[in-house]
A and B are shown apart, each in its own frame.
Chain A
């Protein structure tokens, strides 16, 4: 059995151990070159050449990457199959990078910076109300873990909701026209199913300690205010509001 295997293995090509034709002196030279490239990278990053800084840094980084792979990892002197294998892995990794960034770049469901958020929040509120409404009443809304506090009543017409997040994590506000009890809105996958309720005003996620506002033109009737960050509605973040 063992001799059969040994015989079988002998049929296969012999493993090549060709040593690279490069010695310590060349390695040190390559080390010096890599150091110089790193110094250039640093200089570029502080240079203020805003227009070309990213492509220049990416090219320099790619050159360093290639030099280490080719000379320190001996890929330049080794079997071409290993080069193909590694390049295949790199190509797949690049494809992942392109696919993921294309899918999620500037995705509004990923939290934004406070500045972007305030701008997007007021715009979102107006859009939900069907255009800029003349504000006739202001309603203060406090959000926190896990509550929504608001006055019981307000008057019909243009209403501005001034939302303050008093909690320690981000929250948002939805105002929905509904005759259902505040805790009886339709829920799917941990959030209120906004396709099944008539949302008339909303904010984006408001950071802890931050505030935002949304406006809507409200008709008389029953409304429910709630937070639609996943799970928060079911944890008690809802309150009724009657418009007269």
Chain B
């Protein structure tokens, strides 16, 4: 069943599918990208000349809720991968749909947070906190948005007569790698930006 879900056999010098290897190389490079943004945030921490300052404006209960939503989307994603890899398309579609919805809810939380901060006078150019906060969380949100588009297109494609084809398990697994990566980046951001005292 596993072989059927994964489709035709491939050969590569590493014994790993090159497309999957490419995704992992991409994710490793993304570590550097987010590592630099988090470093910038830490360097600017406590250096703002004018408010609003982080301890006045960050809403930890609301962000905890959005963190929970993203964490649960990782669970739904892995269940979708399981369905795809074990030839259970209905299970795959259901959990892909749940993952897309949870991703959209997370983005909704972020839009709400950004708008609230804007009303309270914090934007990209207000101070060092605003600049580093919006660039870091904005790039993360963009990644979530791209992930939602990838998963939504997989979900739409799965409704074709041929479904996702003989490599359905592979496609969903690789998309899942990206999605989980977005989740683990948020695990770090949530701790560094929100939970550690200002």
- A is bound by B: yes
Decide if B35 touches A79 in the complex (CB within 8 Å): no
Assembled-state Cα–Cα distance A58/B183 (Å): 16
A149 neighbours in B (Cβ, 8 Å): none
**B157 touches A (CB below 8 Å):** no
**B114 touches A (CB below 8 Å):** no
**A94 touches B (CB below 8 Å):** yes
Decide if B13 touches A205 in the complex (CB within 8 Å): no
Cβ-defined partner of B184 (8 Å) among A10, A17, A69:
A69
**B128 touches A (CB below 8 Å):** yes
Decide if B79 touches A24 in the complex (CB within 8 Å): yes
Cβ-defined partner of A73 (8 Å) among B11, B60, B177:
B177
- On whether A61 and B187 interact (CB within 8 A), knowing A41-B195, A85-B28, the answer reads yes
Q: Inter-chain contact count A-B, CB under 8 Å?
A: 184
**A229 touches B (CB below 8 Å):** no
A207 neighbours in B (Cβ, 8 Å): 49-50
Assembled-state Cα–Cα distance A71/B177 (Å): 11
Residues facing B in A33-86 (CB within 8 A) are 34-35, 38, 41-42, 44-45, 50, 53-54, 57-58, 60-61, 64-65, 68-69, 71-74, 78-79, 81-82, 85-86
**Number of A interface residues in the complex (CB < 8 A):** 67
- On whether A41 and B24 interact (CB within 8 A), knowing A14-B9, A96-B35, the answer reads no
**B137 touches A (CB below 8 Å):** no
**A117 touches B (CB below 8 Å):** yes
Cβ-defined partner of B195 (8 Å) among A42, A65, A86, A93:
A42
Decide if B43 touches A9 in the complex (CB within 8 Å): no
1/0 contact string of B12-26 vs chain A (CB within 8 Å): 111111001100110
Decide if A68 touches B11 in the complex (CB within 8 Å): no
- Rounded to whole Å, the gap between the CB of A62 and the closest CB of chain B is 9
**A90 touches B (CB below 8 Å):** yes
CB nearest neighbor in A for B77: A72
- On whether A97 and B39 interact (CB within 8 A), knowing A15-B17, A79-B16, A86-B28, the answer reads yes
- On whether A86 and B24 interact (CB within 8 A), knowing A54-B196, A61-B191, A170-B49, the answer reads yes
- On whether A89 and B27 interact (CB within 8 A), knowing A65-B184, A101-B39, A110-B128, the answer reads yes
Decide if A27 touches B27 in the complex (CB within 8 Å): no
- Rounded to whole Å, the gap between the CB of B81 and the closest CB of chain A is 8
* Chain A binding surface, main DSSP class: helix
A152 neighbours in B (Cβ, 8 Å): none
CB nearest neighbor in B for A96: B35
**A114 touches B (CB below 8 Å):** yes
CB nearest neighbor in B for A58: B191
Decide if A113 touches B15 in the complex (CB within 8 Å): no
**A190 touches B (CB below 8 Å):** no
- On whether A111 and B67 interact (CB within 8 A), knowing A79-B14, A97-B35, the answer reads no
CB nearest neighbor in B for A44: B195
Decide if A113 touches B48 in the complex (CB within 8 Å): yes
**A208 touches B (CB below 8 Å):** yes
Decide if A82 touches B16 in the complex (CB within 8 Å): yes
A24 neighbours in B (Cβ, 8 Å): 79, 82
Assembled-state Cα–Cα distance A27/B36 (Å): 32
Assembled-state Cα–Cα distance A110/B75 (Å): 41
Decide if B79 touches A15 in the complex (CB within 8 Å): no
- On whether A72 and B11 interact (CB within 8 A), knowing A96-B35, A110-B47, A113-B48, the answer reads no
Q: Can you give 23 contacting A-B residue pairs, CB < 8 Å?
A: A12-B11, A17-B3, A23-B82, A27-B75, A27-B82, A35-B71, A41-B191, A42-B195, A44-B195, A54-B197, A68-B74, A81-B16, A82-B20, A85-B25, A85-B28, A86-B28, A93-B32, A94-B35, A97-B39, A100-B43, A111-B49, A114-B50, A207-B50
